[in-house]
Amino acid sequence: MVTPMNCPLETPETADVLLDYATRRLAPDRAAILERHMEICPACRRFADEQRAVWSALDGWETAPVPADFDRRLYRRIEGEGSWRERWFSPFRLLLAYRGVPAAAAACLVIAATLLVQHPSKPAPVPAPPEMATVEVQPEQVEKALDAMDLISEFNHKVRSEKPESKL
C-alpha cells in the first residue's frame, strides 16, 4: 500500500523530490509514492515531463576533449614557479642549511622580546615647560600701580566728557 503524499509543488520543502524523480535520483519507494500522486496531479506530471525533457536536452551538450598539451603546459608552469621561488629563496638557503642558525636566531628574538617585556624602556622624559619666573612683589609697588590706573581712568573720563563728538 503506497501512502499518499502532499503535492510537492505546494510544499517547497519537498519540491526537490520532483527534481530527483525527473533526474532518476529518487529512491524507488519514494518514486512509487510520487507516481501515485502524479496520477491525480497533472501539474506535477507536467513538471516531471518537462524536467525530463530539459535533462535529456542538456545531455546533448558535449564538450571538446582536453587539449593534449594541457599537462605539459601545467607542469611547465609548476616548474617555472619552482625556479622563481628558488631564485628568491636561494640567498636564505645557506642560512637554512645550518640547522642551528635559525634556532639561534629564534632564541635571540625570544630573549630580546622577554627583556623588552620585563624592562620596558623608560619613556623619554617630556621636556618640562619653561618655569615661570617668580618675582617678588612689594605692597608699595601694588599701591603705586593702582594709583597709576586710577589716574589713567580719570584722564580718560575727562577726555571723553570734553569731546563728546569724538565718539561719533
Nearer to another protein, 16 or 150 (CB): 16
Dump strand ranges (E) for 19-106: none
x/- track of binding to another protein for residues 40-79 (CB under 8 A): -------x-xxxxxxxxxx-xxxxxxxx--xx-xx--xx-
* Type of residue at 14: T
Tell me how many residues contact another protein (CB under 8 A).
Answer: 32
Phi and psi angles of residue 57, each rounded to the nearest 5 degrees, phi first: -65, -45
Q: Establish if 15 lies at the interface with another protein (CB under 8 A).
A: yes
Name the helix (H) or strand (E) containing 125: none
C-beta of 77: minimal distance to another protein in Å? 6
C-beta of 119: minimal distance to another protein in Å? 38
Q: Establish if 116 lies at the interface with another protein (CB under 8 A).
A: no
Nearer to another protein, 85 or 157 (CB): 85
Dump strand ranges (E) for 83-137: none
Distances (CA, A) of 149 to 140, 152, 161, 162: 14, 5, 19, 20
How many angstroms separate the CA atoms of 10 and 50, rounded? 18
Sign of the CA dihedral running 135, 137, 142, 144: negative
C-beta of 33: minimal distance to another protein in Å? 19
C-beta of 78: minimal distance to another protein in Å? 6
- Contact residues for another protein, defined by CB under 8 A: 12-13, 15-16, 19, 23, 47, 49-58, 60-67, 70-71, 73-74, 77-78, 81
